[in-house]
A and B are shown apart, each in its own frame.
Chain A
Amino acid sequence: MQGICKSFPGVRALHDVRFTLRRGEVHALMGENGAGKSTLIKVMTGVYEKDSGQIVIDGKAIHFRSPQDAQDFGVGTVYQEITLCPNLTVAENMFIGRGRYAFVDWKQMKEKTAELLASLGIPARPTQALSSCSLAVQQMIAIARAVDMDCKILILDEPTSSLDEDEVQKLFSLMRELKSRGVGIVFVTHFLDQVYEISDRITVLRNGEFIGDYEAASLPQVELVAKMMGKALDDVSQMKKREPSARDSGEPVFEAKGLSSAAGVKPFDFAIRKGEVNGFTGLLGSGRSESVRAIFAADKVTGGDIRVNGKKARIGEPIHAMKLGIGYLPEDRKGDGIIADLSVRDNIILALQVMKGFFRPFSRKQAEAFADEYIERLNIKTASTGTPIRSLSGGNQQKVILARWLLTHPEYLILDEPTRGIDVGTKVEIQKLVLKLAEEGVSVTFISSEIEEMLRTCSRLIVMKDRAIVGELSGEDLTEGVVMHVIAGGGD
């Protein structure tokens, strides 16, 4: 692929991107959120038509008009979410939608499936229902299906994100088998270790632009991270290992030991002192959001001890955390934050109202007063308190959610990506607000994809990688170089 451009109204998603895949290689496609990975893949698979540029397969220029086109040219895709039918059998899933005939030769279908499964070493029986296979096996079956359709190019979009380590290894051996058969594999993932384990080459995208393609063996992890984040690594100071005992000044407001959740974070210890601002950092998918979600019980908590102000506490549901004085602004504003059709006023008072109780609604006057107070304090731009929150801009929606939690007067506030997708002015306002809250004695955990922002606001950074904490930085170590080094290599 050469010079691929793709624009959406108002946004240039891809600009002059190149991507070359050789026969029989595993090629990792890397980039942070919004780098253009998904768009590029969708162009490769014919979901989107490119605006300009060229796609060449085996020396021939090709133009995909639809996903069917791409499939006919031997481009197979397996997505993160399995797109097969769980209630059909393995064999049916292999052949569904491929027959040109109205009648099915069940016997032949079963035999062919058995053959294929055996040749690829997939542990499944043709007559088994797909849903009875593990996720990894389902993924492998999806791959086998693509392979059987004579695919020369196989695109694996985040195939390992829901697999455990053993399953990942099985998937990798399948990938190696396919590689030896000459299939070119595009591998999209955010797990750095996996990239180095299986890939031959790496292409990095950032903000829709082509950064470069590299031999995996000659690109150290630190440099890869730097390229993804767009930072030059001129002065990398010495990397520090995680110190088990953090500085002990002041009582911890919140303490967790061995906390883990159903979302798959490895058990971790965590503490925050009164008036402290700390942050979780790491690449996308490193588990930073999942960790704070575990603190608030936003995901099902599977283990761990919690102490709030030194006293043992149990947080099984968000309401428990709220009653202990914890507030949580979620990363996914649309999905987890706003109640889109409700008014700005209702969105502001909701959390406090729920804490107050079902039988004790705020009077209309009181609710209006709360809303007016915070609209003014946070400078929220809305036509009225009764305007549905969905009609506000992203930044103002975020401020409403922030207002919701400030109104509960939390002792400990968790802000997951409060500044994502909002304008620079608002970003600065929110950062200032965080520092002001800290001065008033509120503890804040602050998460942002932008490292400078974290360095400016946080006095301690917890670095995560592959869903585990790999380092904790404070004081002099709070520089971009050190943070990147820990992200890249801290796991050993």
Chain B
Amino acid sequence: MAKTRAHGFQVLLPLSVLAILVLINLIKGADYFSISIINGALYGNIPNILFGASELVILAMGMTLVTSSSGGQDISVGVAAAITSSVFVRVLLTGGGITWTTILAAFLVSCAVGILIGAFNGALVAVFNVQPMVATLILFTAGRSIAFLVDGRLSPILANDLTSQIGSVIPGVPIQTPIILTVVFIILFAVLLKTTNLKLYAESVGINAKAARLNGLSPVRIKFLTYMLLGVCTAVAGFIAVTKAGRHDSVNLLKFVEMDAILAVAIGGNALGGGKFSITGSIIGAYTIEVLNRTLLRLEVNPEAIKAFKAVFIIILMVVSSPVLRAYVAKARIRLQARSGSAAAMQTAAAGAASPSRPDGSGKEEA
């Protein structure tokens, strides 16, 4: 069960951060976990966190795949979500009556647009070998204008019961709809990872694309695929965001979410240089960011100053989890052990250090 152990270690950091944040909240007020029922649905700090983090969680999952396979990040996810949701709104509003069917149809169209956007970014990255961040910078720059053009006017409003139920609560269901959608999405994602070789292929390509190719994989296709899957994620995130808001604001919808999505991947213990990944880590990372935001609000930090506090927190987190510090800690531990250890143990250690013979190969390859 080595896999579970490695997995456990990777999510240890975000989990402990989460625990610290919850502790701070509990010190601030013991009613942190209290849940109340309003209009037949659950409300409270925890449901609000789950509700608020929905889009971020979904984007972080897609971002994890892209990071793994291409060793880079897509900074256009927020903008892409603005475009897909503008398409959703446009299709829905021009389609006549708003029913569950037309909503589903409009959503599927927006998913197709999301895949198209993913294919565009994926082509730049996988086929033309453009740096992921530079490739997605194109859409990052142009995307909100495109969304505005699709809208045709400023902030089209979704004034109807059905979409507002998707964005809040469906009568008779005690849990807010975005939370349910997120859970469903996570389950679908888990099924995808379970029934396909996506994880093995993406990781192989991300770790060593040349070797992956010699094992019959097509690095181009796999990178492309991960970008298209991220495209689906942006469409779902955009759908949730726009139904929550009740109107499509092409300028502010999911603004700056891309940075949080990347951060969630990093907090989840995933290497931003690609390779092995843990979706669970990224999901926990996304919720951690949401909890952090809300904790700062709860501590009555001035909303204008929140970003600065967040930055400090992130710096600490990144330094603590950096390999440099980890190596330092490991070294310090060895030194401590050597000091407290018996003289005999020290002698063997010294003999080991003095003897010039090392496992061969290390220097041979250098020569």
Contact = CB atoms under 8 A, between A and B. Distances in A.
B39 interface: no
Contacts of B201: 354, 358
Contacts of B204: 339, 342, 346, 350
Given A9-B358, A342-B276, A384-B2, A318 B216 contact: yes
A346 B2 contact: no
Contacts of B213: 298, 317-318
A451 to B, nearest CB: 20
Interface in B284-321: none
B42 to A, nearest CB: 37
Interface string B194-211: 111110110110011011
A343 B356 contact: no
A10 B356 contact: yes
A340 B208 contact: yes
Given A328-B214, A346-B200, A421 B364 contact: yes
A343 B276 CA distance: 10
Contacts of B356: 9-10
B196 A361 contact: yes
By size class, the interface of chain B is 35 or more
Interface stretch (A33-41, A87-95, A278-286, A428-436): A33-41
Interface string B205-231: 001101111111110000000000000
A232 to B, nearest CB: 25
Contact of A353 (B1, B200, B276, B364): B200
Contact of A10 (B208, B211, B217, B360): B360
B208 A11 contact: no
Interface string A327-341: 010100001111111
Nearest to A359: B196
Nearest to A10: B358
Interface string B62-98: 0000000000000000000000000000000000000
B200 A350 contact: yes
B37 interface: no
B367 A8 contact: yes
Interface stretch (A20-28, A76-84, A155-163, A386-394): A386-394
Contacts of A296: 214
Given A8-B367, A9-B363, A319 B211 contact: no
Given A341-B203, A386-B6, A9 B216 contact: no
Interface in B339-367: 356-367
Contacts of B207: 339-342
A385 to B, nearest CB: 8
Contact of A343 (B3, B195, B198): B3
B281 interface: no
Given A342-B207, A394-B361, A319 B367 contact: no
A236 B214 CA distance: 40
A343 B367 contact: no
A39 B363 CA distance: 12
B4 to A, nearest CB: 9
Contacts of B195: 359, 361
Given A351-B216, A361-B195, A387 B2 contact: yes
A184 interface: no
A421 B366 CA distance: 12
Nearest to B193: A361
B3 A353 contact: no
B275 interface: yes
Contact of A11 (B1, B212, B363): B363
Nearest to B5: A386
B216 A361 contact: no
A317 B213 CA distance: 8
Contact of B367 (A34, A317, A330, A342): A34
Nearest to A13: B367
A299 B55 CA distance: 43
Given A351-B216, A355-B216, A337 B211 contact: yes
Interface in A288-308: 296, 298
Interface string A366-386: 000000000000000000111
A8 B214 CA distance: 33
Contact of A335 (B200, B210, B357, B363): B210
Given A36-B367, A298-B214, A10 B362 contact: yes
Which one of A38, A39, A346, A385 has the greatest number of beta carbons of chain B within 10 Å?
Answer: A346
Which one of A317, A322, A354, A394 has the greatest number of beta carbons of chain B within 10 Å?
Answer: A354
B196 A38 contact: no
Interface string B313-339: 000000000000000000000000000
Nearest to B198: A358
Contacts of A9: 356, 358, 362-363
A340 B212 CA distance: 11
A346 B212 CA distance: 12
A421 B365 contact: yes
Given A341-B203, A342-B207, A387-B2, A336 B214 contact: yes
A359 B275 CA distance: 21
Contacts of B1: 386
Interface in A415-468: 421
**Nearest 5 A/B pairs, CB to CB:** A386-B2, A11-B363, A319-B216, A10-B358, A8-B363
Interface of B: 1-3, 6, 194-198, 200-201, 203-204, 207-208, 210-218, 275-276, 356-367
13 contacts: A9-B363, A10-B363, A298-B213, A330-B214, A336-B210, A342-B203, A350-B204, A355-B216, A358-B196, A358-B197, A359-B195, A387-B2, A421-B364
Interface of A: 8-11, 13, 34, 36, 38-39, 208, 296, 298, 317-319, 322, 328, 330, 335-343, 346, 350-351, 353-355, 357-359, 361, 384-387, 393-394, 404, 421
